[in-house]
Structure 1
């Protein structure tokens, strides 16, 4: 039986953007995302001016990483146990309240550094309650999640990267010309708008399954990890992702050094490379969202790592700013290619009542632990070795990991299953 035109295209970006609930949620997240960037920049800049300590300022963006690594899974367990719509609304409202209290402390002249750290801590905790609930809600508001979830995730990822790209540029201007308390009130307003948008979304009630007592809470908390490792293909994805994140984390340190020492391009060159990173992430998300079901996870991993590894190899081999910009774009495009299919696959295979824990467990295992360790090791590498050799070493490692995926048994089995499914789907359409 042939599919109708609407059935064929119900996974297109246009069809996703015609879903009112998704659009409202998307706009709300974009507005609050822009506010979060502004808040982080303003508080970091204020701490830097107040203490004249780069370390004191650096603690602000580092706080969410620490919270995520140590509390990400318990917070997701709490999120899974609470009604999703009310949780989304109240976490937004509470974040707005924290910002308003901070702004009032500024206005009264009673602000001290620990107030800013406490506010960032509370906002990070509320954010890690909000995010798992969002991941549970998105499949529930889509009419056909099996076909629409991949492009929906791609739109969320690419639009958030766009806001990040524009937000830091606009935020820098606002921080320079607007008072900190005004920025905090703007931040609070963005979250109030976000909470108001959620009021108008119909969110189906999620069934809650929980065990009693502290021991029950602990057992519930580890269910995300046990679920991921109960399926061989997901366990392999987690291990491969953690290894690559560990190897790639030092690029955050290497990029400004590479722009300065190898390209001799200064801060302008660094800014261009960062812009290319963001543009590549956007393009990779949109591409993989459109074609997520065409390839198996094994094939996405292979393509992703080969593109990324080759880009890292070419950058130091041809030390030219324009080549480096093109390679930076391809590097992040390659890394982004696997994200949407991976997240979509895990969301669709996870029971609704466990989604928050499973997704946060994936994040903690893949980046919450490996990224800080990679940054520490990367700092030592960049002090000891030439940046060009470090880039090439990481590039070779990433390519080897991509080729290794061809020989990993769960990846091969998943590829065979995907091929049979594709053939059956084509046969049914004829």
Structure 2
């Protein structure tokens, strides 16, 4: 029923997997450090919940607007080079944020401009890296590879916010500069992966049919569509990440280090779950477990919104991360395991838009709602809405509810 524990160790005998893992860890570390610094930096400049939400919108918009192009690029060109160039662009953006912090500029619009540049780079990097991973491992190791990849990413997400909070005491420029160094090293690591053999079918032509192929495929697969849209709506409504600076300052009364700890808790829950899944992969009752995980995510979000104690708030965020990891594991296994390699980039680009909508656009939604009714009520309302969505999706997508095996 379960894959052998040795399968995870076997993965890291592959030097390309080690390079891929190093790149993922470094970029995850940089993203999280930069996110902590960026949130605190913008809030220091504006004291506005809406301004925090706009950071999420600026980061998400490029992925949404360019999904058709970024997916086609990931399928038409060498995915290693696409990812390496994107990481290089992230390095440039982080250096720009470093310069802004050193210049002590009061206007916030240059920060938004560089955040758009970050979002553009991520829009190209995400489909390329998602589509690259399945080409590095045998099909029977997809689930284990996804779990180990997620554990590396989440390990960086655990340490990144805490490191970012500590470094912020030395100034935001130190955090942004360290993130730039991590992005640069990640570009070198991903570029060192051995080039894949050329595709037999060659480069796909640029037509509306090929550009829309990812969306067309997802619409034709009710289980995949249900899983992706469930994650989209649940995290869009229930995400509280953008509001953590407000909770840290005004509800829990902790400083940048406390904010870093709060941001680390979802990732800590996720990495613990990912390591468990790497050694004990899910093989049955995939659909019901996904629905249960989303319901748990919603309940924990409600608990966080009601909490006024740091330990309880951290525990609730830990549970949200663990539940979200189950959702990520199931969704990514379905998407990567059942999509033909020739169109994995385009499917991954659509998936990236859904992920971005549930995270960055969710930050915009959270910031806007918090500006209207307050941070704590906004989080509680979002958590309750997530619980409703979990029940509703079970009825709207019976194929997802009935799905047993994770990989057919």
Q: Does 1:149 align with 2:136?
A: no
RCO greater where, 1 or 2, for CA within 8 Å and sep 6 or more?
2
Gaps of 5+ in 1: 422-430
Change (3 A) 1:110 1:353: same
Q: 1:30 aligns with which of 3, 25, 48?
A: 25
Paired positions, count: 401
Residue 156 of structure 2 corresponds to which residue in structure 1?
163
Q: Distance in 2 between matches of 1:271 and 1:91?
A: 26
Query: Conserved in 2, the CA contact under 8 Å of 1:253 and 1:379?
Result: no
Query: Conserved in 2, the CA contact under 8 Å of 1:233 and 1:411?
Result: yes
Residue 266 of structure 1 corresponds to which residue in structure 2?
253
Change (3 A) 1:328 1:164: closer
Equivalent positions of 1:268-347 (< 5 A) are 273-311=262-300, 322=311, 324-347=313-336
What are the superposed Cα offsets for residues 314-364 of structure 1, whole Å, 9 maximum, x if unpaired? 678998765554443233312221211220121111111211221221232
Residue 65 of structure 1 corresponds to which residue in structure 2?
60
TM-score norm. by structure 1 comes to: 0.75
Please say which of residues 239-248 and 347-356 is displaced more in the overlay.
Answer: 239-248
Query: Conserved in 2, the CA contact under 8 Å of 1:83 and 1:205?
Result: no
Change (3 A) 1:19 1:225: same
Change (3 A) 1:389 1:129: closer
What are the superposed Cα offsets for residues 365-402 of structure 1, whole Å, 9 maximum, x if unpaired? 4552773675377437845995796377346425634x
Q: Distance in 1 between matches of 2:171 and 2:142?
A: 39
TM-score norm. by structure 2 comes to: 0.79
Q: 2:181 aligns with which of 178, 189, 207?
A: 189
SS of the aligned residue for 2:204 comes to coil
Q: 1:223 aligns with which of 191, 208, 213?
A: 213
Please say which of residues 55-64 and 278-287 is displaced more in the overlay.
Answer: 55-64
Equivalent positions of 1:99-178 (< 5 A) are 99=94, 116-142=111-137, 144=138, 146-177=139-170
Q: Distance in 2 between matches of 1:259 and 1:174?
A: 17
Query: Conserved in 2, the CA contact under 8 Å of 1:381 and 1:390?
Result: no
Equivalent positions of 1:78-89 (< 5 A) are 78-89=73-84
Q: Distance in 2 between matches of 1:108 and 1:382?
A: 35
Residue 428 of structure 1 corresponds to which residue in structure 2?
none
Change (3 A) 1:191 1:265: closer
Residue 352 of structure 1 corresponds to which residue in structure 2?
341
Q: By how many angstroms is 1:254 displaced?
A: 6.9
Residue 195 of structure 2 corresponds to which residue in structure 1?
203
Quote the RMSD (CA, aligned, Å): 4.2
Gaps of 5+ in 2: none
